[in-house]
Amino acid sequence: MASSVKVLFLCTHNACRSILAEVIGRDIVAKQVLTTTAQWQFASAGSEPAGVVHPQTLLQLAHRGYSIEGLSSKSWDMMADFTPDLVITVCDSAAGETCPLWLGQTLKLHWGLPDPTSADPANMDAQFSRVIGTLENRIKTLISLPLSAGIEAQKTALQSIANQFPLT
């Protein structure tokens, strides 16, 4: 097993869903005592980054006790040195995009989620709660998988995570 598993979350604008996933992943790993020897690293990026994290994303994360320090909307071109073991798209438009060549044969999954920032203002808090809860469940499941045989060997289990935890 690799001592480190790097996960890159992609969303076209890297302003909400991929940022949520990055922050949630980092927080879960920081707070849990894992029974695996893997060290998990999470990052996020976008093909057409907005340049700023959506203000509602920051507000919703802070409201739930997540650290928002140092968050930024960045291009996937800035992540070439990150060399992920796993790439997870969280928006449908990013799932259909051609990934940069540097991602090569990296295992790619799709965890499609609606954009809570596009919800009706009266429903935005509820939509954020659903998306955040879904990401928390999916990421907890991801980091609990026994990856001793490697990510490629766990491809089926990894791909089934989104089906196990549909948007709640």
**Catalytic amino acids?**
11, 91, 99
Burial annotation 18-33 (CB, 10 A radius, 16+ → b, else e): bbbbbbbbbbbbeeee
> Dihedral, CA atoms, 45, 51, 53, 55, nearest 10 degrees?
-160
Count Cα neighbours of 140 within 13 Å in the Cβ-side half-sphere.
Answer: 11
